[in-house]
Every structure is written in C-alpha cells, then in structure tokens.
Amino acid sequence: MILNPFYQIYEGDGIGRSCPLLYEYGWKNNFLPDPDSTSDPVWWRCRLCYVCSPGNLSGAVFPGDLWLRLLELAGRYDFVIATDELYSEIYADEARSPISLTQVCAESGHDDFSRCVVFHSLSKRSNLPSLCSGFVAGDAAILDSFLLYRTYHGLHHAAACSIGQHRCLE
C-alpha cells in the first residue's frame, strides 16, 4: 500500500514482488490518510504500507494518533509500516517538530518496534545531495534481513548496531 501522491521509488520497489495498491488522499483531508476508510479485505492483503512524514510532495505531518492507529492496524493485519522520514528536520512550524514513528513506538510502549522500519538520510536534512548516507531503524528481525540484502546489493558498506530490541543500520 502506497500513499498517493508519492515518491516514485516506492512504486518501483513493489513491482515484481507484489501488486502496489495506491491509497488515494488529498486536499480534503490535508494530505493525511484515513485508515478507517480502507476495507478489511484490503488491509488483510497489505504486507507493507509505505508512508512519508513529513510528506514528500505535500509536506503533511502525521499526528501521533494517526501513527498509533497505523500501529494498531499493523498488529491486527500483520503488515509492516515503512516510513520515509527523510524530511523530518525540514518543517514550517519551529514550535512543533514532526513526531517520528520510533518516537510514538517508544512513548506508547511499543518498544520492540515490531513491524516498523524508519528511513532517514543526511542528503535532505543536511543539504548534502547525492551523498547517499543515512540510516534505517526499527524491528530487529526485519533489519537483520535488510542487512543481509544490503551486503550483496547497493553500497558496499553497511554497519549495524543493536540497542536492546532496537536495530539500526548505517
């Protein structure tokens, strides 16, 4: 499931392994998805839900209650939330920074980060285009598989560290 409008790489990642479902949202709901408008059969087929907060294209920032609702749905329907937080340090309201999925997990007692993967990059927030340096954090079991994949694909260096149940790759 991919929120639409979206960054084109999300769709390309799903092609060949699945049938990407574009979840339409827009002006009427301030570019925030309404998970309750999606039917049970769609959620049961969902394996991976890509989201972006702050939104690439829209700038929309997920509030904590939306993150909590997605966590509840991921637990009920057994899918992974993959969130692109590359723009987390770029936001309009200096008094209100965007809340991260990992922050919501920690504050809500979901501290094993199960079914959650968060992507960050220095290229956006530090004005370092093309640097290709960032990290992935979240569910240790998912990131173990990701580390194995990254060993053979992409950049030749991937470092991993564990903090309790939390796993982080650089």
Which helix (H) or strand (E) segment holds residue 50: the answer is strand 48-52
Domain 2-169 has CATH 1.10.3720.10: no
Distances (CA, A) of 48 to 14, 17, 127: 9, 11, 29
Residues 18-50 pLDDT 10s: 555 556 666 777 888 888 888 898 889 888 888
Global confidence as pTM: 0.79
Domain ranges of the chain: 2-169
Instruction: Give the pLDDT of the chain (170 residues) as one tens digit per residue.
Output: 566 655 555 555 554 455 555 566 667 778 888 888 888 988 898 888 888 888 777 788 899 999 999 999 999 999 999 998 877 887 777 888 899 999 999 999 999 999 999 988 877 777 777 776 778 889 999 988 877 766 666 554 444 444 444 444 44
